[in-house]
Structure 1
Amino acid sequence: MTSGLKGARTGRGWSQDRLVYEIRRFAEQRLLDVASAASLKTYVSEWENGRRSITARYASILRPLLGVTDQELRGVADVEELQADGYADLLSRIDAAGTLSESLVPSFLAQTELLRTMDRQMGAAGLVDQMAGHLASMEEALTFAVLPGARKPIAAALAGASTLAAWQALDAGAVDRAWRRYEVAKKAAQDADSPLYMAHAMGEQAYVLAEAGRPRLAVELVREAQRTHPGRQSLRLRAWLAATEAELCAAAGEEAEARAALDRATSLLPDDGELRDADMLSIFLNADHLARWRGNVLLTLGDTSAMEELYTSLNGADTSFVRANSGLYCDLAQAHLARGELEEARSHLQQARLLANRTGSVRYRRRVELLTGRL
């Protein structure tokens, strides 16, 4: 229990007093009854040192507040429930799963799209319970689907949702959960016989390696993703993977390779005026998005032209991409810091902080704090 709640709290850079404040604010906004600030301070201390169990009522507040699952909150491993219902129960589940591809799969896809939209605009922290339940339903369906015709559409839906859940976990600082979600996504992509979902999951998983301090291994993974049946990948996905390689190469100090990958992304991106990939709805990429990516890569490489690319991206930024815009403002702050323009850096950093707090992004909060320390 200590590692669960305390780890989630410190991962956000919150003191126990700050957690108490956030609990009370969360409760007030939703008209929930909670203990006084003084009592809550005692509760938090006792929850973290194992002298008091977290009740279901407070767990339902802490999970969305901290962006963690119930197991992560309590610091316990997942326990697989034993089923002893016999053959009748097994056959009932198999029969039900056989009809899912025609009935529930469209509902699964619609729910994933709703969660994706909410995540993009509001952040992932408050979606932990919904996403966990959503994935559990699809994993259950896939477990009992027998024939390929029934399994493939369920597996494709699970691959897309698991990749989204993994990115949400990474943004919340839950690295182990992120890695496991990507592994689920890759296995589901195999079941779905979908190189698109496989390559996308591998490309995003590379970011986990990069942030864990293995940038060159991350580069190798995203390159392997690009070799995963490239003839069956859409152009927009291939452009996305190339841009990902450019960012990871820059982080690994491979300047020539980063620039080459950027050029490849530019040449691959379809000039069709579209934002999303029709075959891969998880991919959002147009010229404005790629300009932001190019600015980030050039900034990492120390190229002075990064500033122009970043402001071009800012001028065309879609305000609904709240978390991505937090990263853009971080890039602008860093670019101005490199030029000694402290007032401009502070201004952009303030915007980055506001958006990171709005979405509950642990990744961008950490970056904001690092940049703040340089002012």
Structure 2
Amino acid sequence: MYVSEWENGKRTLSDRYAVILRQLLGVTDAELRGGRASVPGPATADGYDELLSRIDSAGSVSESMVKAFNDQTELLRTMDRQMGASGLVDQMTGHLSRLEDALDFAVLPSARRPVALALAGASTLAAWQAIDAGAVERAWRHYELAKRAARDAEEPMYLAHAMGEQAYVLCEAGRPSLGLDLVRDAQRILGQGGSPRLRAWLYSAEAELCAHVGLSDDCQRALDRAAASIPPGPEDRDPDMLSIFLNGGHLARWRGNVLALLGDSEAVTSLYGALEVVDPTFVRAQAGLHADLAQAHLVRAEYDDAGTHLRKARLLANRTGSVRQRRRIELLSARL
């Protein structure tokens, strides 16, 4: 009688009976309560029809469908850059879910690789958005997903980039030395391959982590390697790694940030040079640049200038809803 009422929704399945039924049927709680496994009677093979249907659907993912996935990632990246990540959580979650579903049921490497590559790029973006929102555990899990997808795609560039960004989670959690080790492992994985912009990005990340650890000589060497690796000219988008935006102007800002962390008075010159060429559509980056300038002025005890840049940084951080930037701004404000 209970079984009939459970099936018809007339009685709620209690935890007590759920434990018994899970053991009898060999199903998980989610399968039991979600209706994927039949409650009464012995297990059946009916699930194979659905499985094959999903495998067939995943196997037929076309080049145009992968392009649609990547176009969606690019749209979300643009929206994030200009407006911040706070309003994109649901869209990003749904996007990742669709990509994961397509990859889970793709069987052959020829079908898996392009989807895995799209998932690696989307997961890294989602992870950085989670860092910006202060959701560090979600960020970590997204980076782990990005790394698995990059390995599935056999794409060391995407793996190295995900590892490099994941190092920032460790740094902000108070483990900069471990983050530095992870960045250097990413460099070893990339080797002499990969794009010049990605190599410059990894060297810059290494320099920043070195500054947090207090390795000033290693920091300077990494900055010099980044400067030697970056291609000349104003172009900033990496055609081989679309999540990388880096040119001489961006590198000047990064260098200024690192020098400010070291307490070097030359940081101000580098940062003002970056301020003159910053792309106005990079709203969150502008907030970070003004925070960098505030920090550099504080090192020189120029409190009025520091306060001016902190106000600009706060305005931009509020506009994008960046929890990470606001936390940094408050820490700097306490030093005024």
TM-score (norm 2): 0.86
User: Residue type matched to 1:254 in 2?
Assistant: L
**What is the aligned partner in structure 1 of residue 331 from structure 2?**
370
Unaligned 5+ residue runs, structure 2?
A: 1-29, 38-45
Q: What's the CA shift for 1:341?
A: 1.8
Aligned residue number for residue 252 of structure 1: 213
Per the TM alignment, residue 273 of structure 1 is displaced from its structure 2 partner at its CA by: 3.4
Correspondences of 1:278-293 after superposition (within 5 Å): 278-293=239-254
State the partner residue of 1:98.
Answer: 59
Q: Hey, what does 2:293 align to over in structure 1?
A: 332
Q: Are 2:91 and 1:134 aligned?
A: no
Could you say if the C-alpha distance between residues 82 and 259 of structure 1 is closer, same or farther in structure 2, counting changes exceeding 3 Å? Answer: farther
In the TM superposition, residue 229 of structure 1 has moved relative to its aligned partner by 3.6
CA distance in 2, matches of 1:83, 1:182: 30
Structure 1 stretches lacking a partner, 5+ long:
1-78
When normalised by structure 1's length, the TM-score is 0.77
Give identity over the alignment, percent.
Answer: 66
Q: Are residues 1:204 and 2:165 paired?
A: yes
CA contact (8 A) 1:291 1:313 kept: yes
> Quick one: which of 63, 69, 75 aligns to 1:108?
69
Equivalent residue runs for 1:292-331 within 5 Å = 292-331=253-292
Partner of 2:234: 273
Taking only aligned residues, the RMSD between alpha carbons, in angstroms, comes to 1.3
Shift of 1:274: 1.7
Q: How far 1:272 moved relative to its partner?
A: 4.3
Choose the corresponding residue for 2:322, options 361, 365, 374: 361
Cα offset for 1:340? 2.1
Runs of 4+ in 1 over 3 A off after TM superposition: 79-85
User: Does residue 118 in structure 1 map to residue 69 in structure 2?
Assistant: no
User: What is the CA-CA distance between 1:103 and the residue it aligns to?
Assistant: 3.4
* Partner residue, 1:242: 203
Aligned-residue offset at 1:82: 7.4
Deviations 1:121-167, CA, capped at 9 Å, x for gaps: 10000000000000000000000000000000000000000000000
- Counterpart residue type for residue 246 of structure 1: A
SS in 1 for 2:87: helix
Tell me, yes or no, if the aligned pair for 2:223 and 2:255 is still in contact at 8 Å: yes
Aligned counterparts, 1:44-123, within 5 A: 83-84=36-37, 86-123=47-84
**Secondary structure of the corresponding residue to residue 189 of structure 2:** coil
Give distance in 1, aligned partners of 2:159 and 2:110.
19
Change in CA separation of 1:268 and 1:83 when aligned onto 2, cut-off 3 Å: farther
Q: 1:183 aligns with which of 140, 144, 147?
A: 144
Write the deviation string for residues 83-106 of structure 1: whole angstroms up to 9, x where unpaired.
Answer: 446111101100010111423111
